[in-house]
Structure 1
Amino acid sequence: MPPAASPGSRTVVVVVQDRCTKEQPPMERGQSHGDDTVGAAPWVPAPRDPVPGRIPLAVVVVGADGRISHWSSGARRLFGPTREEAVGACAVDLMPVTGALGTKEWDGREDGPEEGHGPGLEASLVGATSYPTAGRARMADTGTAALDVLWWAYPLVGPGAERLLVLAADAAQVHRGQGSDERFVPAFALHTDFPGSADLARRLPEILPSMSPQESARIVSQVLELGYPVLEISQQERFPVTPDWGVPRRVERRTRLLRAARAVADDPQAAAAAAAELESDLEYAAVRERLEFLNEVSGRIGSSLDLARTIQEVSEAVVPRFTDVAGTYLREQVVAGEGFPDGPPDAMTMWHRVAVEHNDEPGRWDDVVPVGESMTFPVQTPFFQCMTTGQPVLVPRISDEMGNAIAAQFEKRDISPLINGRSLLVVPLKARNVVLGFMILLRHPERTEFHDMDRVTGAELAARAGLVLDNARMYTFQENVAETLQDSMLPQIAPRMAGCDTATRYLPGTRLGRVGGDWFDTIKLPGSRTALVVGDVMGHGLNSAAMMGQLRTAVQTMAAIDMHPAQLLRGLDDLAQRLGDNYLATCLYAVYDPIGQRLTLANAGHIPPVLVRAVDGRSELLRLPTGAPIGVGGVAFEAVTVPVAPGDRLVLCTDGLVEVRGEDIGVGLAALAESAAHPAASMDDACDAIIRALNVTGDRKDDVALLMARLNGITPDAVAEWRLAIDPREVSRARRLTGRQLADWGLGSSAETAQLMVSEVVTNAVRHAHTRHVVLRLVRTDALLCEVSDDDHALPQLLSAGPDDEYGRGLRVVSRLAREWGTSRTSTGKTVWFEQALPQSRQVRQVRGSNAM
């Protein structure tokens, strides 16, 4: 350790000052003045004219194993690695501090050194002296020049594991403004060797990592006992090392003018002119600085309509230039996107902490004020005053008494250590005279207090931030409305229909809006058939979604009366023309008959579907008459019937899946056909494979609707059909036929319920049929489907029969016993059907769902 300064030696004192500096009265000779060369690099003054200065410091804590446990922002700026990269790394790999560390030989244990630290040896505190060490070394920088590093290392002793406190600085910062022949050596000196030693001891915690007051006091005492870090110019001239956190340009300009005023101190007229110039220049500089700050903040915020990103931009814009801590709170309705909050806030209003930005050490605020917490604010707090009045609240300095009183209002935690001694400014975030939230701004005790000009600046900042947040809130609200509308209009499709399995995907467009006019649907039809529909309303937005809902409802209505596919599209086209000129849409309507093993399709300007054959895995685009889009009018629609086999797959989609800007749509259709032919473990996997193969990214401009159906078919042995005469005696025959057939299918336990419902439906059909026979059909799939058809077009009604009524109880019995039932008109009359759950339906569903495609 270098010898201490002799009583007659010359000493330069450097006083710690934070970002802003208050004007101080002149001091006696030998003391430091806080307004000279604020923010400048240390330099060697004349012995009788001590001038304070500061240098940027890196603060690092190294554990007993030689690995880094704390890495300050100054260390990141000096050495390059981020905190996440440095913590846990070996100290000697990132800093030239080998002289402060010993080596430890490992015996092959599992917790040995990582690869790259040498065989059997690792840097640690083993062998390190109990005295502080210092050094100077050159190390390769990330750029082209080498880095000249000054460092000081203190062994920290006491409770817990051994640790090493390392302070480092760039020697280039010291040489700034010095001659090339000056000598700079890191050394140590007792704080009592310097004038103003009490001030140095009080400000020493500023260069230490944040820790509890007890631990901080213990470490400070060790540092002061071992020797204060200094730069030695000679063994007789040294000055303390203190951190430079950076200061505003206004303070530097003020310092320069103060020097000019002292230079003319002997001339009263020149001194008066310099003082007037100083006052005018300070006022001008202060206003200009705040305008520049507000313009800079306005340029940084509002780059996105995402609420979370906007809040983060606002927080990062004010720290550290305007404040040291910024906490942002929003009303829960704003965060949830529920629209504009109703009424003024009160003591019961819930506030959501959405951001906490600070330049303190990491983790200090996380446990006490975690982001994401919802809370109310007590009445007796400055925060409540700001949110109820809508005006900024300024507390120049929070005394211990005031801080403890504020902290006492919060039951869950003690916030007094975070706010005591700090300057406080609370500014409201308003839009249209409604408080959406507020920001809590705090400055370190060493920094200049908030004043009236800061209050005005903070209010203007909050006003601009409030407008940006309101725009983001409105966008979030509209997006939620659009998504809710879209979700409500998209059908909840059952994955299993009679004779076919389905899977769907819907991906909303993100470039032009999250809501559009694409839709798909599956509709149950008489005769165990299924209608498969996909459509696309031209355009985007709420209007397109509303049109889509109307057209989808119309398709379901016309499908319920079993209209032929071509006739259905004709009816849909007529409806679109009656609704308005803006109704234009494409639509593909397909009817699958699992018993007859055929598809009947009609197209209205939509892209063709893909059919994947199960026998050889070959895929093909079905050639259909294109037709004109719905709403054009005056164009005929044609239907095409295509034979299919069990296991074939039909793929229907909208053009957003296959269209690529700058390419012919035929390229996308070919890619669709190719990707659909690839085997997959399940229907869902097949849909995902198509989405991946066509490279559907989150930056697409159009919606994507995809409907895939596996056409399983219904085998002839699962279908039974009889023709019944129009005779009441046929009701008993229908019961016998039903019981016998269910027994043959091994469903005898379900026969009694099925016979009762068949009896009621056939009785109604025999009573109302006119000239033709009644058809009874039973279909066994996952459930028992019963269909009774006759030539009467009048649909039966569910009635409330009284005790004396002879009729009206049949359909009520069916509605109570059946899993599902319904009626539909056909071209020759009507069909009444019901489904009955079967005991083995669950096992059948599990077996079929496990089959590969």
Structure 2
Amino acid sequence: MAPGMSNTPPDAVPGRIPLGVVVVDGHGLVTHWSSGARRLFGSSREEAVGVPAAELMPVAGALAARSGRASGGYTDEYGPELDLEGVPAAYPTAGRARIAAPGPGARDVLWWGYPLVGPGTGRLLVLAADTARITGADPRGQGIAPGFALHTEFPDAAELARRLPEILPNMSPAESGRVVSQVLDLGYPVLEISRRRRVPVTPDWGVSQRAVRQERRARTEADTAVGDARGPAVPDPEQDLEYAAVRERLEFLNEVSGRIGTSLDLARTIHEVSAAVVPRFTDVAGTYLREQVVAGEGFPDGPPDATTMWHRVAVEHDDEPGRWDDVVPVGESMPFPVHTPFFQCMTTGEPVLVPRISEEMGTRIAAQFEKRDIRPLITGRSMLVVPLKARNVVLGFMILLRHGERPVFNDMDRVTGAELAARAGLVLDNARMYTHQENVAETLQDSMLPHVEARMAGCDVATRYLPGTLLGRVGGDWFDAVKLPGSRTALVVGDVMGHGLNSAAMMGQLRTAVQTMAALDLPPAQLLRSLDDLAQRLGEHYLATCLYVVYDPVESCLLMSNAGHIPPVLVRADGGRSELLDVPTGAPIGVGGVPFETARVPVGPGDRLVLCTDGLVEVRGEDIGVRLATLCESAAHPAASMDDACDTIIRALGVTGRKDDVALLMARLNGIPREDVAGWRLERVPQQAGAARRLVCGQLAEWGLAEASDTVELLVGEVVANAVRHGAGERVGLRLVRSGRSLQVEVTDDEPGTPVLLAAGAQDEFGRGMRIVSRLASAWGAARTARGKSVWFEQALPRAR
């Protein structure tokens, strides 16, 4: 016990004073009542559990009087006003009260209330002690800090002790861990005595007499065991004190090193570094990093200067809540002038020690904050600025401040802070490099995955991509949906064998090739054949599976070819049945010399097609047949939307913790009714361009879309005239397909040569037709067919009248 705390009762052991422990839920009802609480307040466990805590204890500052009944039997002298919301307060509270003791007389009780966070019903931890056991302490309980031992007679005791940093918010993880280690052997909750802090408190940074005595005893025993012939050693108090101080700082550094760097997440690492030093080493810790580090970009170029922007990423302190938040908010960026100690630290890479911040220095520093006066926060405090370096480059720095009543930073603290910053800098650099790699990987993956339109011609599409969680965030799975002539849609899923950047790069090449060949309207089997030839030309390690499906909403059918991929699932709208489609499975892409077949599957309006990669259904140790059955069952589950249906499949198959990527594509095959399709066969004579314009105008009027006639009539005339002039055969085909809010016009002829855009000059007679189509149509294209070519364009439609 510190000097001045005398007249302690014989049965009171300093630092081992029993506490009453009570846990209160969010409704203010008692859920745990220890034997110590029974001795203090007189109620048994059976009488207390389930009763409003305000009726049993003097904790008005931590609980609202929800029941409206008077809390008789005591008077609360020092607690704050009642919480008007009727729930446990969200901040630590403390007070002293005089209560009627069991038996004659009254009793003074000190109590502390700490909000609880996390799982479980408990929302307030109340610790209480009899002041008779701590005679000589400050009359308002200053200088007394509750600790928490493991043995508290209820099942959640171990969890509460493990979560002590959250239970006691004014303690850093390092400090609370030390307190726990001191009280675990006591077997009950205790009070820890200090004379340098207010409630709630932590032991002062420094060397305790207990530590000195332990070091002296250990060295004496060692000298005795050796048997020094020169006689018993005479202890040197100053040497013991210095040795213990060095030992304690080494233990502190070792402890902090074990607590930081538990994650490669940059934000979490920054929080760990800041919280590790408060309040054991300092009272305030502000962390600043260069903007390139925060953004996860490459290593900062060149040394910092007066124009370098520094981002405030964390402010940790043990002052009253909110005191620093408004003045120095986290997230602010600012430069530092040459005359500040911060500039000196970041340019020299060495710690800067200011024993006390004078009013003049405080004014110069405060000049950085034009709209906020920080002088009251920093003037008179001791300051230590330490650089956060890695590979001789300053990534940031920490500003450490101590209260005026604490000892100023000294040379030993400078060395300790420099060593702490060196270790923290390496941890931050590892987190920065990891964040940079994550950003590169995510950018690469996002650039390679398509942004599929939710509504295509005659179908709705929903997709999901989940990167592998154990082997990185990039992989070789992909999906795609490509518009084809004739209002058809190509649906694709593929999976490059392997994982990582190489697989992602290979996937990008194959996906681009599929899109290019799909735009040429190759039949499914021929497309896979061409993709297989390309993979063999690229290299022997290019192996992938692929499923290619062409949906024709007018004919209501699917054409599909498979290259070693998981078969698709078809959910019938009629009855909700689901089935794995029996598609001939060819060899994977890249094997070579294996033929591919095309299967035709009729479908109906409202049917749903599900395509996925093997990461969704292949799990080590589980039967793939069972997983495929689960896929079929979950795909048939009713859902409010396509997105909900995808989420249902993912939840049912439990893909968390997987090693492989997952790509999922679902298409609802709505079809296009026959009444929304119109077609004609025209003679290949010049006069048919005018006839085509009249036919289109009449059909649009019949559909109630006369407002779109002018543009569509002009474009149809240009495309038909081009087919008549440059085509082959006797006839030209013209078809209109209305799908939702778009109109697709297709013109076919027997000439395989596709049109191209020409740079027509002022005197040129030809070359302007397709430029007009390109300028006015929302999309257009051309592809070879089995008998010639097809030229098509799309136009957005107004609402039908």
Using the size of structure 1 for normalisation, the TM-score is 0.72
Would you say the 8 A contact 2:74–2:100 is kept in 1?
no
Corresponding residue SS for 1:673 = helix
Q: What code does the residue aligned with 2:665 have? A: L
**1:174-223 CA distances to partner (integer Å, 9 max, x unpaired)?**
9xxxxxxxx85758999xxxxxxxxxx9xx98789xxxxxxxxxxxxxxx
Corresponding residue SS for 1:397 = coil
Cα distance in 2 for partners of 1:91, 1:814 equals 79
Structure with bigger gyration radius: 1
List runs of 5+ in structure 1 lacking aligned partners: 1-12, 16-31, 33-40, 47-52, 59-66, 68-78, 80-88, 103-110, 140-147, 154-166, 175-182, 191-200, 209-238, 261-269, 844-853
The number of residue pairs the alignment matches comes to 683
**1:815-837 CA distances to partner (integer Å, 9 max, x unpaired)?**
22222111112222211111122
Corresponding residue SS for 1:424 = strand
Cα distance in 2 for partners of 1:752, 1:408 equals 67
Q: What code does the residue aligned with 1:515 have? A: V
Of 463-472 and 353-362, more deviation after overlay is shown by 353-362
The residue correspondences of 1:826-841 to structure 2 (distance < 5 A) are 826-840=785-799
1:55 Cα deviation after fit: 9.4
Cα distance in 1 for partners of 2:440, 2:487 equals 37
Would you say the 8 A contact 1:149–1:169 is kept in 2?
no
Give the counterpart of 2:257 among 294, 298, 319.
298
Give the counterpart of 1:666 among 610, 614, 625.
625
Give the counterpart of 1:583 among 542, 547, 559.
542
1:252 aligns with 2:209: yes
- Specify the alignment match of 1:114 in structure 2: 66
Report % sequence identity. 68
- Specify the alignment match of 1:808 in structure 2: 767
Corresponding residue SS for 1:779 = strand
Assess, with a 3 A threshold, how the Cα gap between structure 1 residues 757 and 405 changes in structure 2: closer, same or farther: closer
Give the counterpart of 2:357 among 370, 380, 398.
398
- Specify the alignment match of 1:368 in structure 2: 327
1:438 Cα deviation after fit: 0.7
The residue correspondences of 1:48-59 to structure 2 (distance < 5 A) are none
1:541 Cα deviation after fit: 1.8
Q: What code does the residue aligned with 1:729 have? A: Q
Would you say the 8 A contact 1:428–1:439 is kept in 2?
yes
1:546 aligns with 2:546: no
Assess, with a 3 A threshold, how the Cα gap between structure 1 residues 405 and 768 changes in structure 2: closer, same or farther: closer
Assess, with a 3 A threshold, how the Cα gap between structure 1 residues 285 and 187 changes in structure 2: closer, same or farther: closer
1:453 aligns with 2:412: yes
The residue correspondences of 1:316-715 to structure 2 (distance < 5 A) are 316-697=275-656, 699-715=657-673
**1:222-274 CA distances to partner (integer Å, 9 max, x unpaired)?**
xxxxxxxxxxxxxxxxx9987574256744267649999xxxxxxxxx99974
Would you say the 8 A contact 1:560–1:825 is kept in 2?
no
Cα distance in 2 for partners of 1:272, 1:398 equals 48
1:551 Cα deviation after fit: 0.3
1:659 Cα deviation after fit: 2.5
1:756 Cα deviation after fit: 1.8
Q: What code does the residue aligned with 2:732 have? A: V
Cα distance in 2 for partners of 1:632, 1:189 equals 84
Would you say the 8 A contact 1:14–1:241 is kept in 2?
yes
Of 731-740 and 488-497, more deviation after overlay is shown by 731-740
Assess, with a 3 A threshold, how the Cα gap between structure 1 residues 601 and 185 changes in structure 2: closer, same or farther: closer
Cα distance in 2 for partners of 1:700, 1:490 equals 20
- Specify the alignment match of 1:163 in structure 2: none
Q: What code does the residue aligned with 2:658 have? A: R
Assess, with a 3 A threshold, how the Cα gap between structure 1 residues 485 and 255 changes in structure 2: closer, same or farther: closer
Would you say the 8 A contact 2:98–2:107 is kept in 1?
no
1:572 Cα deviation after fit: 0.9
**1:294-314 CA distances to partner (integer Å, 9 max, x unpaired)?**
222222211111011111222
Of 567-576 and 763-772, more deviation after overlay is shown by 763-772
**1:605-637 CA distances to partner (integer Å, 9 max, x unpaired)?**
111111111111111110111211111222221
1:349 Cα deviation after fit: 2.3
1:342 Cα deviation after fit: 2.2
Q: What code does the residue aligned with 1:596 have? A: E
1:137 Cα deviation after fit: 6.5
**1:527-574 CA distances to partner (integer Å, 9 max, x unpaired)?**
221110011112222211111110001001111111111111111111
Cα distance in 2 for partners of 1:279, 1:128 equals 45
Q: What code does the residue aligned with 1:672 have? A: L
Cα distance in 2 for partners of 1:252, 1:186 equals 21
1:787 Cα deviation after fit: 0.7
Corresponding residue SS for 2:498 = strand
1:436 Cα deviation after fit: 1.0
Q: What code does the residue aligned with 1:337 have? A: G
Cα distance in 1 for partners of 2:563, 2:134 equals 86
- The two structures, once aligned, show a CA RMSD in angstroms of 4.2
Assess, with a 3 A threshold, how the Cα gap between structure 1 residues 463 and 188 changes in structure 2: closer, same or farther: closer
1:401 Cα deviation after fit: 4.1
Cα distance in 1 for partners of 2:328, 2:665 equals 48
Cα distance in 1 for partners of 2:138, 2:482 equals 88
Of 675-684 and 726-735, more deviation after overlay is shown by 726-735
Cα distance in 2 for partners of 1:317, 1:189 equals 30
List runs of 5+ in structure 2 lacking aligned partners: 20-27, 29-39, 41-50, 80-95, 112-125, 146-192, 218-229
- Specify the alignment match of 2:692 in structure 1: 734
Q: What code does the residue aligned with 2:409 have? A: F
Corresponding residue SS for 1:767 = helix
- Specify the alignment match of 1:775 in structure 2: 733
Would you say the 8 A contact 1:42–1:54 is kept in 2?
no
Assess, with a 3 A threshold, how the Cα gap between structure 1 residues 796 and 397 changes in structure 2: closer, same or farther: same
1:285 aligns with 2:244: yes
Would you say the 8 A contact 2:206–2:245 is kept in 1?
no
The residue correspondences of 1:158-177 to structure 2 (distance < 5 A) are 170=129
1:292 Cα deviation after fit: 2.4
1:794 aligns with 2:753: yes
Assess, with a 3 A threshold, how the Cα gap between structure 1 residues 548 and 242 changes in structure 2: closer, same or farther: closer
Assess, with a 3 A threshold, how the Cα gap between structure 1 residues 660 and 451 changes in structure 2: closer, same or farther: same
Would you say the 8 A contact 1:254–1:278 is kept in 2?
no
Q: What code does the residue aligned with 2:109 have? A: W
Would you say the 8 A contact 1:57–1:168 is kept in 2?
no
Corresponding residue SS for 1:540 = coil
Cα distance in 1 for partners of 2:271, 2:795 equals 57
Q: What code does the residue aligned with 2:707 have? A: S
Cα distance in 2 for partners of 1:188, 1:541 equals 64
Would you say the 8 A contact 2:143–2:195 is kept in 1?
no
Give the counterpart of 2:744 among 751, 771, 785.
785
Cα distance in 2 for partners of 1:661, 1:655 equals 12
Would you say the 8 A contact 1:55–1:169 is kept in 2?
no
Cα distance in 1 for partners of 2:65, 2:561 equals 71
Cα distance in 1 for partners of 2:216, 2:710 equals 108
Cα distance in 2 for partners of 1:293, 1:680 equals 56
Cα distance in 2 for partners of 1:599, 1:639 equals 10
Cα distance in 1 for partners of 2:280, 2:317 equals 11
Cα distance in 2 for partners of 1:512, 1:435 equals 31
Corresponding residue SS for 2:763 = coil
Q: What code does the residue aligned with 1:252 have? A: Q
